[in-house]
Structure formats: structure tokens, C-alpha cells
Amino acid sequence: MPGVDVLDLVGAILIEQENALPLTVIEASRRGTLWTNATEYFEFATLLRHLTVRDLRLRFQNPLLGILWTILQPLLPAMIFAVVFARVLQPATGGVPYSLAALAGFVPWSFFSTSVSSAGMTFVWNANLLNKVYFPRGILPASAILASSVELATGAILLCGWSIWCGFPPCASWLLLPLLAGYIAAFAFFASLGLATANVLNRNVKFAVPFAMQLWIYASPVIYPSSFVTGRWRWLLGLNPLTAVLEGFRTAIYGAPLDSMLFLMSFCSAIVFATAAVILFRHFEDLIAERV
């Protein structure tokens, strides 16, 4: 390799070992690549763990009520829609009880909307901490999403139970559920990373979030399966990053036919949104403590 002196490399490694202590260099602009910044999160695993424990403790301070809220979160809206819209939407579900189709939509959706809405506030809520101690800032939304994952897990169990009740016995595709849950949790993390940054930059964002969520639920196949939307506007569902996971849940639970083109489009859309969120976050990361 021209231009790289092997001895220099060896020297650098030896110096590194001689000084066992880490050297912190502070400069005007951030050093290091996306990869080194990301690996820093592993050094703070203990903090992530205890922030998550804190959130769980507070949520389940009264265990019975905590579990009740967690179950009602997806169940209540699903049942309301089942009662009100069942007749209109039933034909689109292909013989599956509408309540099951709706619950399969609301379990991932209510996890996503509630966890992102609250994890998106973590920078603002923890302003004092951000101003008093250093840690990779993404730890805060990450711990909030991790704690909310309990909701997703309970929801998935509830969904399996409802499925059996409706006459769809356990099948191999249920094994896909953890994968889908991981996927939506990861997307929720990236979304809340971007939202939390936006909340610091502009205090009006938090007022817009509930409206955005209300519009988003109708723009996503939550209360209706994607097969409900046909014709020339169907591709719009593909732009929605949540379509893939919402449809994925239905396929995994009761074998709804999966539109692989739509799934792929939505998956790519999720990657684009997540990348945009990471770019936004990294651009303003160092200013969060100052602006919050």
C-alpha cells in the first residue's frame, strides 16, 4: 500500500497500549465516524439499562393498573373501531373477523404512536441532565423506547390470544412476530431520535405531534387492511414507512396475503426516514444541551 508506513501504524498501536488511559480530545467539530460514535453507546450500556429500569418502575408502580393500561392501549381503540366500522370494512379483510384485523393494526400502531410521542420529548424533559453530564444523547430516546417495548410485547401476546379466540390457531408464521416487533421498535427509535431533536430546535413541534399522529393513523393501514385501498392511489401506501410492519403483522398472525412490492417500498421508505432522522440528530447533537 503506497502512502501508509507500516511502522507508523505499529507505532500508533504501541502508543495506544502504553497509555492505557483513554485520551479525550475536545474540538469545535465532532471527531470520529458514524461507527465510532455508535460504538460509544455500548460504553454507556449501564446508563441505558438503568434509565430503562427507571421508566419501567414508574410505569408499573401500581402493577395491576400498569398492566391494565398496557393492555387497554391497543385493545380499546381496536374494539371501538370493531363496533363502529365492522360493517363498512369487513369486506376488505377477506373473511377474517374485523376485530382481529383491527387489533393486528393497533398493537404496532399504538406502540409506535405513544412511544414516539413520549420518547420524542426526552431531551426536553431531561434538560437538566443534558446540561450537567455527558453521555451519548441518543441514550435518552433509546431507553424510553426500550421501556415502551413492554407494551409491544404485551400487545403481541394479546393479539395471539385474540387470534386463537377467533379461530386462527398458532402457526409457524407467528415466529416472525419478534422480528417485526424488533423492526418497528428500531424504527420508533430512529423516529423519536429525529423528533426529540426537532423538539429541542422548535418548541412548537410538540403541539404538532398529536395532529400528525391523528392524520398518520388514517393514512396507514391500521383500521383497514392495505387491500382496502385499490387503484391508482395504492402506491401512496408504499411511501408510508409503517405499512410494511402493519401488513407484516397481519400476514404473520392470520396469513393475510402480502403485497411484496408494497412491503419493499415501505421498507425503503422507513430506511429513508430513519437516515434523515439520524442526519438531523447528528447535525445538531452537540447543540442539544445548549438549546434545550
Partner 1 sequence: MRPAILADKLSKRFPRGQSGETFLALDELSFEVAAGHAVGIVGNNGAGKSTLLKILARILRPTSGRAVLDGRVGSLLEVGMGFHPELSGRENIFLAAAVLGMKQSEIERRLDAIIDFSGVGPFLDSPVKQYSSGMYMRLAFAVAAHVEPEILLVDEVLAVGDAQFQKKCLERMENLSRNGQTILFVSHSLQAVARLCRTALWIDRGKLRGQGPVAEVTAAYLKQGAANPGEQVWPDGSDAPGDDCARLRRVRVANASGQTAASINIAEPFTIDLDFAVTADDLVLFPSIRIFNEWGTEIIWSTDTGSPWHGKARPRGRHRCTINFPANWLNEGLMSVTAAVSSGFPARFHFNQADAVHFQATDVLGQKNARGDYPDSITSVMRPLLQWTIQVDS
Is residue 196 classed exposed, middle or buried when 0-12, 13-18 and 19+ CB atoms within 10 A define those classes?
A: buried
For partner 1, give the closer residue by CB, 31 or 232: 31
* 283 lines the binding site for partner 1 (CB under 8 A): no
Residue 183 CB, nearest distance to partner 1 (Å)?
28
* 12 lines the binding site for partner 1 (CB under 8 A): no
First and final CA of the chain: distance in angstroms? 47
Q: Which stretch in 24-32, 145-153, 237-245, 246-254 sits in contact with partner 1 by CB under 8 A? A: 24-32
Q: Among positive and negative, which fits the CA dihedral 88, 100, 166, 260? A: positive
Q: Which stretch in 27-35, 177-185, 222-230, 266-274 sits in contact with partner 1 by CB under 8 A? A: 27-35
* 16 lines the binding site for partner 1 (CB under 8 A): no
Residue 218 CB, nearest distance to partner 1 (Å)?
37
Cα–Cα distance for residue pair 23/143, rounded to 1 Å: 28
Cα–Cα distance for residue pair 143/96, rounded to 1 Å: 36
- How many Cα atoms are found within 13 Å in the side-chain-facing hemisphere of 285? 21
For partner 1, give the closer residue by CB, 52 or 73: 52
Please list every residue from 45 through 84 that binds partner 1, using CB under 8 A.
45-47, 49-51, 53-54, 57-58, 61
Residue 141 CB, nearest distance to partner 1 (Å)?
16
Residue 158 CB, nearest distance to partner 1 (Å)?
27
Please select the residue that binds partner 1; options are 60, 85, 125, 135, rule is CB under 8 A. 135
Residue 134 CB, nearest distance to partner 1 (Å)?
4
- Residues 6 or more apart whose CB falls under 8 angstroms from that of 176 comprise 248, 251, 252
Cα–Cα distance for residue pair 153/155, rounded to 1 Å: 5
Q: Calculate Rg over the CA atoms of the chain.
A: 22
* 204 lines the binding site for partner 1 (CB under 8 A): no
Cα–Cα distance for residue pair 110/136, rounded to 1 Å: 28
The DSSP secondary-structure symbol of 61 reads: S
Please select the residue that binds partner 1; options are 22, 63, 95, 169, rule is CB under 8 A. 22
The amino acid present at 91, given as its one-letter code, is P
* 179 lines the binding site for partner 1 (CB under 8 A): no
For partner 1, give the closer residue by CB, 128 or 230: 128
Look at the chain and count its residues. 292
**Grid coordinates in use for 275?**
437516515
For partner 1, give the closer residue by CB, 72 or 291: 291
Per CB under 8 A, residues contacting partner 1 are: 19, 21-30, 44-47, 49-51, 53-54, 57-58, 61, 128-135, 286-287, 289-290
